[in-house]
């Protein structure tokens, strides 16, 4: 049987915080959520967006949420918007992987629906075969 688990080693192109997060969460995801190779893109997105969020937060710590232009205008630090986008992407990836209460409920409902469909197919097959 072929191993379909996601590798605990991060892809070479991930660096910094994204690489660190991959090493920390993938073993947990494999153990608790049965994350497979097919989920790699979602896990990559999770790690990359976490790194974006952390780097953006560092920018805000250093420069504040606003800055003064040479012309004397007050402009928002783009890192504020970056954190907002990265946070939304993180929530989406976590939901898709079943790492949030909402995500787990959705995954459980899919399982229940699949089990009901499977039982209906079995019942139909039994009728055709004359067993029910």
In this prediction, residue 123 has a pLDDT band, given cuts at 50, 70 and 90, of: low
Average pLDDT over residues 36-53: 94
- Greater pLDDT, 95 or 101: 95
Is 46 within 8 Å of 10 (Cβ atoms)? no
Instruction: Dig out the tokens for 117 from the structure.
Output: 């469909």
Instruction: Dig out the tokens for 101 from the structure.
Output: 């209460």
How far CA 84 is from CA of 58, 91, 93, 105, in Å, comes to 14, 11, 14, 25
> Long-range contacts: 5-13, Cβ < 8 Å, 24+?
5/30, 5/35, 5/36, 5/37, 6/30, 6/35, 6/36, 6/37, 6/39, 6/40, 6/43, 7/37, 10/47, 11/44
Q: Say if pTM beats, i.e. exceeds, 0.75.
A: no
Is 106 within 8 Å of 97 (Cβ atoms)? no
In this prediction, residue 113 has a pLDDT band, given cuts at 50, 70 and 90, of: low
């Amino acid at each position: 049987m072929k191993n379909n688990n996601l590798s605990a080693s991060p892809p070479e192109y991930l660096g910094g915080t994204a690489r660190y997060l991959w090493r920390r969460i993938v073993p947990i995801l494999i153990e608790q959520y049965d994350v497979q190779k097919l989920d790699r893109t979602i896990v990559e997105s999770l790690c990359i967006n976490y790194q974006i969020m952390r780097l953006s937060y560092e920018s805000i710590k250093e420069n504040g949420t606003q800055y003064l232009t040479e012309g004397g205008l007050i402009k928002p630090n783009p890192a504020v918007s970056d954190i907002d986008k990265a946070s939304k992407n993180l929530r989406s990836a976590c939901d898709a992987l079943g790492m949030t209460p909402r995500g787990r409920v959705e995954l459980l409902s899919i399982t229940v629906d699949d089990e009901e469909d499977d039982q209906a197919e079995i019942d139909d097959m039994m009728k055709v075969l004359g067993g029910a």
